[in-house]
Structure formats: structure tokens, C-alpha cells
């Protein structure tokens, strides 16, 4: 005779154990999906990522951006082009004042970005202009003061791009011709949510007594 069939209690226990194992696997899989989804949303800045070890507000231009800016000025000078940096780090308060210009305040509209909506506010952008040789500043994109048959402005753009800057003149919407930036792969939404490139100049938040 063959062996006796499993008793009902044994079969029920086996099914319960199998269901428990399946449920555990499902829970683990769901948790993995949730973590992956959260990381994806955090990457695009829709939710906060893990807390930063150092929190605070940006107070100056990023050191690497500053170093590349100094190199840009020197390389342009080697070509006989004198440039001036008209803006680098800009606080959100300063950005809001610029945004009001030409709207609530007198003057021409100079920006479409409010405070926190510009890479200047995170120390990752600069604006430049050309010296005219007489102590003045010009935003002339056609002038060729070094006489090599090329626009001085576009020569500066070429140098800046080679150094890793993105040029605002390439933007399809609201091109910003004096503007260069280095975003280090960070979107504005990420920056607004407190994710900043390593090395950023941050003023730590002081905890109260």
C-alpha cells in the first residue's frame, strides 16, 4: 500500500505557510517599488531627498563656477577681448527686486524669473558684457574689436562652452544672451528643494537655544 494521505490539518498548515511566504514577497516587492518611485520623484525635485548633512541657504558663487569664470576672463583677454562680469550670485530677494522692475517698479523688464527661479540664486550662473576700450560697457553682439573677422561676443560664448558653461542664448524660450550657467546636472526644482552641488557656499542654519 502507498503511504497515507496528508491529514487535513497538515495541508492547511502548508497552505497557510505558502500564503504567508507569498505575502511577504509581495510586501518586499512593493516596498522596493515605493523606494524606487520616491527616489525617482526626488531626482526630479518633486519630493525631498534624504536630508543633507549641512542645511542652510546659498550665500555665494560656487567655487568651481568662480574658477571657470576667472579662466574665461583670462582666455578672452588672450584674444584681445576684455569682458566684465555684471552679475554672479544673486539672492532671492535681489531676484524678486529685478522681477518687479518694469512691472511694479520703474524701468525695463530684465528678467522673467522670480526669487528661487534662477541659477543665479544658487551661485551657478554669471552674466557678462564687453568693455568698449574707453571705460564703458557694451552688450554688442556684432562688434569685432580684436579685428579677427569674428564677433567678440561669440568668441566669448565659444570659450565659455569649452569650459563647461551652458549659454542662455541657446534657449528657445526667452534667450538670455549675456548669461552662462553650470547646473552640475541639477534642475531648478531640485535646487528649490534643497539639493545643491557639492562645494556650494552654504550658510548653516543656526539652531535656537
In a domain, 100, yes or no: yes
Three cell numbers written together for 60: 555665494
Instruction: Please state, for a pLDDT cut of 70, what percent of the chain lies above it.
Output: 78
Residues 86, 32: one domain?
A: no
Residues 174 and 147 in one domain: yes
On whether both 1 and 100 belong to a single domain, the answer is no
Average pLDDT, the chain: 85
Task: Note whether 127 and 196 are same-domain residues.
Answer: yes
pLDDT at 31: 75
User: 76 and 13 share a domain?
Assistant: no
For residue 173, the model assigns a pLDDT of 87
Based on the domain organization, do 79 and 13 belong to the same domain?
no
Q: How far apart are CA 15 and CA 20, in angstroms?
A: 9
Tell me if the pTM is above 0.75: no
pLDDT at position 92 is: 94
* Per-residue exposure over 79-108, b if at least 16 CB sit within 10 Å of its own CB, e if not: eebbbebebbbbebeebbebbeeeeeeeee
Q: Which has more confidence, 34 or 181?
A: 181
The 10s digit of each residue's pLDDT in 33-56 is 776 665 555 555 454 443 343 456
CA distance 39 to 56: 22
In a domain, 209, yes or no: no
Determine, yes or no, domain membership for 52: no
Bin 204: left if φ > 0, else alpha if -120 < ψ < 50, else beta: beta
Residue 176 has pLDDT above 70, yes or no: yes
The confidence score (pLDDT) of residue 53 equals 35
- Does the CA dihedral 90-93-94-98 come out positive or negative? positive
Residues 118-124, mean pLDDT to the nearest whole number: 97
The C-alpha cell of 11 is what? 495541508
Question: Residue 37: its pLDDT value, please?
Answer: 65
d(CA 26, CA 150): 65
Q: Is residue 48 part of a domain?
A: no
Q: Are 156 and 81 in contact (CB under 8 A)?
A: yes
178 domain residue, yes or no: yes
Residue 23: exposed, middle, or buried by beta-carbon count in 10 A (0-12, 13-18, 19+)? Answer: exposed
Same domain, 39 and 116: no
Report which of 139, 142, 98, 122 is spatially closest to residue 192, judged by C-alpha positions. 122
Predicted pLDDT of residue 152: 98
Does 29 lie in the same domain as 84? no
Domain containing 34 equals 1-43
pLDDT surpassing 70 at residue 95: yes
Cell digits of residue 130 = 564687453
Q: Are 163 and 72 in contact (CB under 8 A)?
A: yes
Q: Considering the domain boundaries, does residue 50 fall inside one?
A: no
pLDDT of residue 21: 72
pLDDT for res 137: 97
pLDDT at site 47 = 47
Average pLDDT on 160-187 reads 96
Q: Confirm whether 49 is domain-assigned.
A: no
pLDDT tens string 3-26? 555 566 666 666 666 677 777 787
The domain spanning residue 104 has which CATH number?
3.30.1380.10
Kindly state whether residues 74 and 122 are assigned to the same domain: yes
How many domains in the chain? 2
Q: Is residue 51 part of a domain?
A: no
Q: What is the pLDDT of residues 63-84, one digit of tens each?
A: 999 999 999 999 999 999 999 9
The alpha helices in the chain, defined as continuous H runs, are 8-43, 63-78, 92-100, 152-162, 188-192
- Residue 35, pLDDT score: 62
Residue 35 sits in the same domain as residue 79: no
Amino acid at each position: 500500500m502507498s503511504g497515507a494521505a496528508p491529514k487535513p490539518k497538515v495541508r492547511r498548515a502548508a497552505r497557510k505557510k505558502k500564503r504567508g511566504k507569498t505575502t511577504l514577497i509581495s510586501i518586499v516587492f512593493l516596498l522596493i517599488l515605493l523606494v524606487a518611485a520616491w527616489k525617482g520623484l526626488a531626482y526630479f525635485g518633486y519630493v525631498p531627498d534624504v536630508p543633507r548633512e549641512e542645511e542652510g541657504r546659498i550665500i555665494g558663487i560656487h567655487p568651481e563656477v568662480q574658477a571657470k569664470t576667472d579662466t574665461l576672463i583670462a582666455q578672452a583677454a588672450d584674444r584681445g577681448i576684455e569682458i566684465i562680469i555684471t552679475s554672479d550670485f544673486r539672492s532671492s530677494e535681489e531676484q524678486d527686486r529685478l522681477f518687479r522692475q518694469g512691472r511694479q517698479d520703474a524701468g525695463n523688464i530684465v528678467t522673467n524669473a522670480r526669487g528661487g527661479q534662477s541659477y543665479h540664486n544658487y551661485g551657478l550662473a554669471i552674466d557678462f558684457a564687453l568693455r568698449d576700450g574707453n571705460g564703458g560697457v557694451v552688450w554688442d553682439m556684432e562688434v569685432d574689436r580684436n579685428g579677427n573677422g569674428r564677433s567678440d561676443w561669440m568668441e566669448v560664448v565659444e570659450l565659455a562652452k569649452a569650459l563647461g558653461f551652458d549659454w542662455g542664448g541657446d534657449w528657445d524660450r526667452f534667450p538670455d544672451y549675456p548669461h552662462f550657467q553650470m547646473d552640475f546636472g541639477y534642475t531648478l526644482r531640485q535646487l528649490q528643494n534643497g539639493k545643491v552641488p557639492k562645494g556650494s557656499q552654504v550658510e548653516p542654519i543656526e539652531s535656537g537655544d
